[in-house]
């Protein structure tokens, strides 16, 4: 009898613990935006806003319920902590931020000021307070990652097809090109990089109580002032002498730090990156490859695209594909590290376009930089090609350069012109969000023009009597 009682008691406790676990698990999932409960003293935004506004229409076209299910990032093994913010709120702010080229802080501030933005993010009552801390956008971008954010780009393409901005068959033919997404770094020079490396080593040494023989704070401050004066006056021999002195002083601090951390495994891990970067700066030659152009962004590449006004750009190469005969809807956006040859990026760009649009790419139009691409399953037409070209294909090839103004617009309007996110992962996220935001802007323009055309037809057939 006692055994039966003990077994029943254990079973009851198990069910009770399971119920408590499920309750805590449900509490940890992203919160929902409450729209069913009305406020007695406040009017609904859906009643006050203009239903013909393009952002109002766009918010009703996006499948938010499907996106909330796909972006369920809750970890069932972790039941402690604060519930996440609503998925629609975070995705909406990230899209609006890239659509209007705003920083995290300004995007949150504009959200409070603009009722159309609040309705776009799922709120039906005017909000007076900040919905999130701006730093939450950084955490959400890192949690989502570039693979998950491709769903946003895929969603924008689906909405474009649904609204009639493009047709489904337009996704079969694409135009591909590459551009440079500059990184948010200072123009790299040896003197600036060496000084930054010295400052970091001195700061780390002070934090961990290392007694350096000398930190050269005042000496190098005067040295850099003289160096700048010599370079401005084109006195190159004197400038080279000052640069040599700077290398000597930074080398002394580097070797001093190496000696003091040699017997401490914990300090070796802490100083590993900065000592490696410092030694690279001290030993590299002018014709060496894989140089470091930024200490906080070591993955930055020096890319030359043959521009007359900007010979070199420091950032990441981005491969873009757009529809051939449509309104420039972007079907893929890939940030690729290592400055690869353009032709080697075409296969990956076509695969990404097919993955995002769920449509087989039959023809791709590219420039002469894609020779030797190696793509076999898609017909690729290169500018200037004369073999196997009909009059119809020749006419289609003339539209290849149509991608250039679209690249200019997405750079100037949707944050592709300067990546402020960390590392190559941040570059991939920035490229995808910029492409999705630009697609939504094109859809909004289509809805605006469509509404004006409807009004024109109505007034054209209306006879006014006075």
Q: By C-alpha distance, which of 306, 284, 367, 359 is closest to 329?
A: 359
Provide the 3-class DSSP secondary structure of residue 334: strand
Whole-structure pTM value: 0.86
Could you give the CA distance from residue 51 to residue 47 in angstroms, rounded to a whole number?
A: 8
Contact status, residue 164 vs residue 331, Cβ threshold 8 Å: no
The DSSP H or E segment spanning 182 is strand 173-182
Break the chain into its structural domains and give their ranges: 2-146, 149-185+316-431, 190-283
Look up residue 281 and give its two tokens.
């700066």
**Structural element, H or E, at residue 175:** strand 173-182
Q: Residue 33 and residue 93: Cα distance in Å, rounded?
A: 14
Given this model, what pLDDT does residue 81 score?
64
Give start and end residues of each alpha helix (H) in 49-177.
54-61, 64-70, 87-99, 104-113, 115-120, 135-163
- Residue pair 368/342 in contact (Cβ under 8 Å)? The answer is no
Distance separating alpha carbons of residues 132 and 118, to the nearest angstrom:
13
| Residue-wise pLDDT tens digits, 315-350 | 999 999 999 987 889 999 999 999 999 999 999 999
How far apart (Å, rounded) are the C-alpha atoms in residues 311 and 318?
17
CB 334 within 8 A of CB 205: no
149-185+316-431 maps to CATH 3.30.420: yes
pLDDT in tens, 143-161: 999 999 999 999 999 999 9
Q: What is the Cβ-side half-sphere exposure of residue 434, based on CA atoms within 13 angstroms?
A: 31
Count other Cβ atoms within 10 Å, centred on residue 463. 4
Residue 432's pLDDT is what?
A: 96
Q: Compute the distance between CA of residue 35 and CA of residue 26 in angstroms, rounded to an integer.
A: 20
According to the model, what pLDDT value does residue 137 have?
Answer: 94
Q: According to the model, what pLDDT value does residue 39 have?
A: 63
Digit-coded pLDDT (tens) for 11-46: 545 545 545 544 444 445 667 676 666 666 678 888
Residues of the chain short of pLDDT 70, as ranges, are 1-30, 32, 34-41, 73-81, 451-466
> What is the chain's Cα-based Rg?
29
Calculate ∠ Cα 210-215-220, nearest 5°.
160
Residue 133 zone, left/alpha/beta (φ > 0; ψ -120 to 50; rest): beta
């Amino acid at each position: 009898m006692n055994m039966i009682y003990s077994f029943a008691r254990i079973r009851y406790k198990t069910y009770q613990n399971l119920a408590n676990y499920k309750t805590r698990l449900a509490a940890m999932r992203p919160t929902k935006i409450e729209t069913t409960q009305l406020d007695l003293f406040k009017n609904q935004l859906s009643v006050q806003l203009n239903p013909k506004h393009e952002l109002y229409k766009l918010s009703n076209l996006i499948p938010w319920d499907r996106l909330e299910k796909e972006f369920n990032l809750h970890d069932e093994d972790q039941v402690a902590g604060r519930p996440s913010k609503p998925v629609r709120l975070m995705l909406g702010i990230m899209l609006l931020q890239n659509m209007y080229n705003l920083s995290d802080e300004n995007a949150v501030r504009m959200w409070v000021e603009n009722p159309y933005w609040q309705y776009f993010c799922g709120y039906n009552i005017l909000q007076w307070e900040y919905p999130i801390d701006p730093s939450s956008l950084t955490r959400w971008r890192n949690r989502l990652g570039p693979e998950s954010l491709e769903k946003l780009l895929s969603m924008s393409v689906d909405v474009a097809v649904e609204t009639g901005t493009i047709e489904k068959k337009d996704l079969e033919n694409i135009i591909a090109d590459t551009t440079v997404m500059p990184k948010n770094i200072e123009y790299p020079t040896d003197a600036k990089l060496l000084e930054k490396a010295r400052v970091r080593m001195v700061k780390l040494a002070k934090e961990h109580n290392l007694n350096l023989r000398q930190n050269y704070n005042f000496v190098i401050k005067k040295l850099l002032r003289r160096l700048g004066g010599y370079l401005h006056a084109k006195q190159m021999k004197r400038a080279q002498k000052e640069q040599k002195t700077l290398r000597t002083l930074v080398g002394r601090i580097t070797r001093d730090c190496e000696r003091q951390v040699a017997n401490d495994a914990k300090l070796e891990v802490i100083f590993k990156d900065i000592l490696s970067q410092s030694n690279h700066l001290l030993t590299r030659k002018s014709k060496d490859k894989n140089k470091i152009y930024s200490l906080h962004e070591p993955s930055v590449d020096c890319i030359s695209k043959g521009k007359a006004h900007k010979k070199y750009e420091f950032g990441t190469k981005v491969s873009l594909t757009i529809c051939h005969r449509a309104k420039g809807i972007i079907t893929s956006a890939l940030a690729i590290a290592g400055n690869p040859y353009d032709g080697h990026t075409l296969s990956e760009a076509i695969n990404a376009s097919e993955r995002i649009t769920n449509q087989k790419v039959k023809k791709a139009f590219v420039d002469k930089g894609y020779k030797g691409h190696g793509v076999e399953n898609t017909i690729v037409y290169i500018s200037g090609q004369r073999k196997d070209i009909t009059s119809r294909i020749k006419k289609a090839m003339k539209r290849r350069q149509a991608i250039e103004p679209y690249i200019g617009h997405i750079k100037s309007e949707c944050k592709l012109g300067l990546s402020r996110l960390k590392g190559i992962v941040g570059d991939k996220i920035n490229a995808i969000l910029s492409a999705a935001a630009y697609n939504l802007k094109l859809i909004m323009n289509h809805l605006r023009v469509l509404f004006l055309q409807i009004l024109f037809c109505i007034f054209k057939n209306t006879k006014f009597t006075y």
